[in-house]
Structure 1
Amino acid sequence: MQPGEGSARSRPILTSLPLQIFIYFGGWWDVLFWVLSILVFIYKGFTLPYPPQKFAAEFVVQWLFLIVEPTRLFLGSKGNKTEQSGPLMFSVLLSCPMIAFFVYFLQYQTYILKVEVLLNAISLAFCCIQVLFGMLAAVRFVQAARYA
């Protein structure tokens, strides 16, 4: 018998290609987003009168992005590729602080430049689309496991 022949039941592939595409390009976008955000933040720090505590808090949050976002994308990709709903749902859970991050920097930070509105709106869109596709994939994985 040749490899791949004669299996009694073949199982369909359940991974979500749209989710994986958005995770992949979202990761590259996040690199560009973070670099541009730090450059804009440095520009604002030198040119605008920031209250000292606000500047420090917003600066720390920018760096926290580097911890949460790669973890979220890794878990989403791992859950999708291995067809496991656990890592995928944890990725969706980690999307909550990321969405709060983007909304804060869209609406509530001390100074908001137009370029920041554009950057954060694109990032928010990526995150929300990834959440939508992630939840759909997780439901599909759970249903497939239930009826297997």
Structure 2
Amino acid sequence: MNMMNPGGNPPNMAPTTAGPGAPSGQQVQAATAGASWRVFANDEAFAAGNSLSQTRTENYRAKQLSTGSSQQPQQPQPPHGLLSLQLLLRFSDSVRHLYVFVTVMSMLFKFAAFPNSKDLQSTRLGEEIPCIVLFWLIEGTRIQFGYDGNKTERCSRLAVFNLLSIPQILFLGFFFTAQVYVLRIDGFMNLSLLIVTAAQVGLTLPLAIRSGGLRQIGGEFETFVTAGGAGFLLFVVFVLFDAGQTENSGKTCPTTRLTDCTVTTVS
């Protein structure tokens, strides 16, 4: 008795009919082999050096391509800096040319107000002119480093900004306290810029903390702290110096402010 039918099908088994979308026998075997290999596919030892995260990333990208999704992964936000420091830098950048102009005009007025004074030979005109020129040159570079350091939140740029702030505080303190004659406009301009410069140096500290500067070991943050501390120390010294000079001044020309002096006109 023939146990096999002419169609070649085993007994007690229904004949297999493959539909148009059904996989063939080779595809089923390949899928079965692939399923057995997927047990180890995510393991780094069996994936030819591909780690689990790399495999998941590739699968995620393949899924995005298959679904046609154009959504991109979120990128980290760039640093924005401090708005208050940016506003103070804008103020200094706008006022520096006006400050130089007003200081030069006030110097011309002061020395023209005493044409016959014998004390003009001992004035500090030779000190004031180089100071105002150096102030104008350094201020532009200092503000540029401040803009860059505030935008990128880099401690190295903020350290250079603080270092360049030290001579500016020196110049402003000199024009506010140690000039031969200090007009009221001089006192107002120099004191305003002195306070703004000190505030800029102070605002660099929270900016460095926010950018992670406190976790740095060696190099940039130590330089930043040294520069900022020196700038604040100079500001405090000039405030104390001006307070002591105001109390101990003898109200005699030309060592005090011009507003405290009695100017006599020689006809």
Return the alpha-carbon distance in structure 2 between the equivalents of residues 19 and 93 of structure 1: 16
Q: Does 1:41 align with 2:107?
A: yes
Q: Which residue of 1 aligns with 2:17?
A: none
The 5 Å alignment of 1:64-83 reads: 64-83=134-153
Does the residue aligned with 1:110 lie in a helix, a strand or coil? coil
Q: Which residue of 1 aligns with 2:91?
A: 25
CA contact (8 A) 2:208 2:214 kept: no
The partner residue of 2:166 within 96, 117, 132 is 96
CA contact (8 A) 1:92 1:135 kept: no
Does the residue aligned with 1:51 lie in a helix, a strand or coil? helix
**Sequence identity (%):** 26
Q: Which residue of 1 aligns with 2:46?
A: none
Higher helix share: 1
Return the alpha-carbon distance in structure 2 between the equivalents of residues 87 and 143 of structure 1: 12
How many aligned positions are there? 143
Q: Which runs of 5+ in 1 are unaligned?
A: none
The partner residue of 1:6 within 67, 73, 76 is 73
For 1:28, the aligned partner's letter is S
Q: Which runs of 5+ in 2 are unaligned?
A: 1-69, 217-267
- Post-superposition, which runs of at least 4 consecutive aligned residues in structure 1 deviate over 3 A? 11-14, 142-146
**Higher Rg of the two aligned structures:** 2
Q: CA deviation at 1:55?
A: 1.1
The 5 Å alignment of 1:102-117 reads: 102-117=172-187
Q: CA deviation at 1:142?
A: 3.3
CA contact (8 A) 1:15 1:83 kept: yes
TM, length-normalised to structure 1: 0.85
Change (3 A) 1:144 1:13: farther
1:34-77, Cα deviation, whole Å (9 max, x unpaired): 11111111112222342367211211111111111111111011
